[in-house]
Structure 1
Amino acid sequence: MKKSPSYLISRNSGWFFCLNVPKEIRRLVNKSQIRCSLQTRLMSVARQRASYLAFRCKGLFTNLRSGEMKELNDQDFQKMISEFFQESVEAFERARIHSGPLTEEAWEKERRGFARLRDDYKLWLRRRDYSKMDGMTEWMMTQAGIPQKDIDHQSFDFKKLRREALKVFVHFLDLEVKRHHGVLLDDVDYLTQPLRMGTPLLSSVKEETSIPISVLFDEFRRERLAGNKWREKTRGANESVAATMIEILGDRLVFKMDKATGRDYKAALQKYPINRHKDKRFKDKTLAQIHALKNVEPIATQTINNHLNKATALFGWAVDQGYLEVNPFDGLRISMGVRVKDQVMPFDRDDLGKIFNAPLYRNNEYNRPHQFWLPLIGLYSGARLEEICQLHAGDIKEVDCVWVFDICEDEERKLKTRSSERVIPIHPFLIEVGFLKYVDRMQKQNRTKLFPELNRHNGKISHGASQWFGKFKRGLGFPERKKVFHSFRHSVISMLRKKRVPDHEVKMLLGHTTGSITHDRYGGDEPVALLEVVKELDFGIDLSHLKFKK
């Protein structure tokens, strides 16, 4: 094992550079020793940095001895920053050249080290904590010929150089992370360009290292999937948002996006057509051509907010990764308040009469079992459409002499929230019209799913059923957005409140959190008690003609 140079010392916080100043020039430097953190725990990196610092310090000592001092001007600042960046890159490149092949474990260890170091520097920059660069700034000024005793930490020049050094090092570490992943970058062009002090960021560096929206989203998606943070449905929704963003803005470089970009995107979303990729009128047309058409309905405010929320999350991650400093989409969400026209309304008595007296029920004109059962189960349980569609035949069981729907989650089936996992007593009317007989048939056929004809689409098993119900209700003259399948759930809530059922019992039935300790969903008297709640669901309509016959 190689012995560390005398000017390289290790401490708990990492490696430090430490070099004694010759006695004859200590009065000029006002120090007996030059000491600074090398900002790394990796010995190979520390050795390269320390070697370079030692070389430059010894050159400084020679200049001090010969009296070759000079005043520091703006060009000197530019030169110091440029050299600092270039020499940092070269030091790391030398370390790579001398390094042997890395095992996967060693590569991952270095990757984490680079990422932690980069994140630390970015955090200091965001918090304007430039003190971390004091030692490096002192060194750069002394190597430029400024005696230590003349360096004023409160001067504008010192503070300016310190901030610029921190900004440059953030970019340098961004480059190093990319190199560590095998991305080849050409440093020559932007390293030879003069740097203007006081600019927000090094635009030449950003131009070379920035990525387009599509690549940013690919990286974001890869991390979310690796961390199991996205379900299939969430993945599909985010992919759709990214595609829409690129359609509106183009696949532009991320670093060029600012608050004005965000405002333009929001304005474009407010004109974005509903069913952009489904409406045959829009096929092969640009957005400008679509806007010129008549009777084009824009997407809903809630949909706009969904797009903005996902864009904010994506670019918040981009800020954390150092691709830009400000999130273009922060604060753009539209405050909706309580807007009656956007609310889902419950089905009233007339609505329910229209639905359950339609030919589908009067003449048994349904083609698949789910078309008969889904509206009825929704009305007499308050369950969400996805919860009903993903039921297994084995989820219909008897607990304490009460037949229940066991709403549960597994690797394939997901629920909206943790409190959604519950049992719902089966309403006596569902049993009366043949529901348990249907379940028995599915079990005898060794069917796993209660509705085997339903298949997943973009992670949702309710996709086809939702489309069917939308077409069904439109045929009955219901408004497009205010009356939907979820209206059954609102009808249940409305009825139970009318019957003055205690709020905590309503929440237990619907799978809302009650703010209390979660009980075993099979424990105590819960199924029996909730059956009494379910029996309160009497909507005052004649359904005596209903009978499942297929």
Structure 2
Amino acid sequence: MKNLTLEDIKEILRIEVRKSILHSGHVSGGHNEIYDSMRKVKSLEKVYSKEINIRKSLLTEPNEVRKSVDKKLQNILESLEITLDKQSLNYKKLRSSFIDLYLLRFKWIKDMMDESGRTDDDFRREVDEKLNMNLFTELIEQTQSQQVTVNQEVHTDQKVSSLSKHQSTSISVGIDKFISEKYKLTSKSEMMMRTHLEMLIEEFGDISLGKLDRGMCVKFKDDIRKLPRNRSKIQQYRNLDFHEQVSLNVDEKDRISTTTVNNILGYVSSFMKWSRINGFVEVNFFEGMKLKKQIRQRDERDRFTEKEIKKIFQKHNYIEFTEVENHKYSNYWTPLISVFSGMRLNEICSLYLDNIIQDKVNGRKKIWCFNILEEPDRPDKHLKTLSSKRVVPIHDTLIDLGFIEFVEL
């Protein structure tokens, strides 16, 4: 079983569009000759009624609609040997697009019954315009070509700008290229980077990079500021797509922090800077877009006072809450190492036994030290910067508490 990708989403939607066109033709077929006007009116009323019911359900029972769509998508994904992960961003994108497509199908059936003269390609273009997924690139190119021709005929003295080949690159392809050039990126860092960058696709669809403009980028910043924190974990949010989460307009205290917003904008700005250098966009509209950090009340973190630190590490409290007597040794040693060494949490948690060494420091006699370094054969050992590589003497208090004896057990 493989994970659901953006290309999988596009192919599933293309198939559904073909089915929708066939279904619309079947429902509306023959009305102009076989059915009389009254039967045609009744058929239209039936279509309108179905559309109203589903739109009403989306407002009053959205979870029931999603469950119904989930059942259909489960069968589709199983047939394609794709893992069903309802919490993944790609799945939410697929489900949201599936619902939008279903609603468009009602409109298409009505258009065909009304003998509007619209073609199947018109429906495909409308789908692309609605979903912003570049499903039918050949139609987009054809439309752009026709627009250029019309503009040249009507305004021969005006230049018509069009996207270059590089600027027509979709956001998803750009993200893949950008990440592939990152050196020594851990799987965790890649997942975080990809999650933040794919929010562009959640916002605008998988459009061409060259279509992004300043207004769109400002809208993206404004929208992510409205997102609820833990949006993929908290039950009331996790089944909603990006736009549904934004439209909730949750209280400021329940939104993602300014730090998180700036982290997202930082990743996106780096991506757009790379895109500009590589010719995918002309301007990095995200440059300088980070927010001034205004610390909200819920984000305020006062430093522990000396009195509070003594209380935390008071023997009775510390032994009880770290549960060292129940062999929770990591709970016991990690805070102590942090206090007496200043090491980062990930540096402490990724220590191996052979990272505890005896070494000469400043030409003195050998003393016990933490050897902090990046090791290619140990993927969990990753340094934040090159300067993070260092040897840190183990504090006498840790030795007195029996840390070396614990290591040598």
TM range (shorter): 0.5 to 0.7
Say whether the 8 Å CA contact 2:341–2:392 is kept in structure 1: yes
Question: How many Å separate the matches in 1 of 2:338 and 2:284?
Answer: 42
1:350 maps to what in 2?
307
**One-letter identity of the residue aligned with 2:371:** D
Is 1:238 aligned to residue 193 of structure 2?
Answer: yes
- Structure number with the higher helix fraction is 2
The structure-2 alpha-carbon separation of the partners of 1:364 and 1:313, relative to structure 1 and needing over 3 Å to count, comes to closer
Which segment drifts farther, 276-285 or 241-250? 241-250
Is 1:365 aligned to residue 323 of structure 2?
Answer: yes
TM-score (ref. length: structure 2): 0.54
CA deviation profile, 1:510-538 (whole Å, cap 9, x unmatched): xxxxxxxxxxxxxxxxxxxxxxxxxxxxx
SS of alignment partner, residue 405 of structure 1? strand
Give the aligned length. Answer: 255
Is 1:379 aligned to residue 336 of structure 2?
Answer: no
The structure-2 alpha-carbon separation of the partners of 1:184 and 1:272, relative to structure 1 and needing over 3 Å to count, comes to closer
1:388 maps to what in 2?
348
Offset of residue 325 of structure 1: 1.8
The structure-2 alpha-carbon separation of the partners of 1:200 and 1:408, relative to structure 1 and needing over 3 Å to count, comes to farther
Say whether the 8 Å CA contact 2:322–2:328 is kept in structure 1: no
For structure 2, the 5+ residue unaligned runs are 1-136, 360-364
Is 1:416 aligned to residue 384 of structure 2?
Answer: yes
The structure-2 alpha-carbon separation of the partners of 1:338 and 1:271, relative to structure 1 and needing over 3 Å to count, comes to closer
Equivalent pairs: percent with the same residue?
29
For structure 1, the 5+ residue unaligned runs are 1-182, 442-550
The structure-2 alpha-carbon separation of the partners of 1:351 and 1:245, relative to structure 1 and needing over 3 Å to count, comes to farther
Offset of residue 388 of structure 1: 0.9
Say whether the 8 Å CA contact 1:396–1:403 is kept in structure 2: yes
Say whether the 8 Å CA contact 1:356–1:362 is kept in structure 2: no
Aligned counterparts, 1:377-456, within 5 A: 377-399=337-359, 400-411=365-376, 412=379, 413-441=381-409
The structure-2 alpha-carbon separation of the partners of 1:344 and 1:414, relative to structure 1 and needing over 3 Å to count, comes to farther
Residue of 179, 187, 192 corresponding to 1:221: 179
The structure-2 alpha-carbon separation of the partners of 1:247 and 1:278, relative to structure 1 and needing over 3 Å to count, comes to same
Say whether the 8 Å CA contact 1:241–1:311 is kept in structure 2: yes
Say whether the 8 Å CA contact 1:404–1:424 is kept in structure 2: yes
2:225 maps to what in 1?
270
The structure-2 alpha-carbon separation of the partners of 1:381 and 1:312, relative to structure 1 and needing over 3 Å to count, comes to same
2:255 maps to what in 1?
298
Say whether the 8 Å CA contact 1:359–1:365 is kept in structure 2: no
The structure-2 alpha-carbon separation of the partners of 1:339 and 1:299, relative to structure 1 and needing over 3 Å to count, comes to closer
The structure-2 alpha-carbon separation of the partners of 1:206 and 1:353, relative to structure 1 and needing over 3 Å to count, comes to same
Question: How many Å separate the matches in 1 of 2:267 and 2:157?
Answer: 33
Question: How many Å separate the matches in 1 of 2:139 and 2:166?
Answer: 8
Residue of 152, 161, 165 corresponding to 1:202: 161
Offset of residue 190 of structure 1: 2.9
Question: How many Å separate the matches in 2 of 1:370 and 1:199?
Answer: 70
The structure-2 alpha-carbon separation of the partners of 1:423 and 1:208, relative to structure 1 and needing over 3 Å to count, comes to closer
Say whether the 8 Å CA contact 1:212–1:252 is kept in structure 2: yes
Q: Which has the larger radius of gyration?
A: 1
2:77 maps to what in 1?
none
Aligned counterparts, 1:164-203, within 5 A: 190=145, 193=149, 195=152, 202-203=161-162
The structure-2 alpha-carbon separation of the partners of 1:386 and 1:200, relative to structure 1 and needing over 3 Å to count, comes to farther
2:214 maps to what in 1?
259
The structure-2 alpha-carbon separation of the partners of 1:201 and 1:275, relative to structure 1 and needing over 3 Å to count, comes to farther
For the aligned residue pairs, the C-alpha RMSD in angstroms reads: 3.5
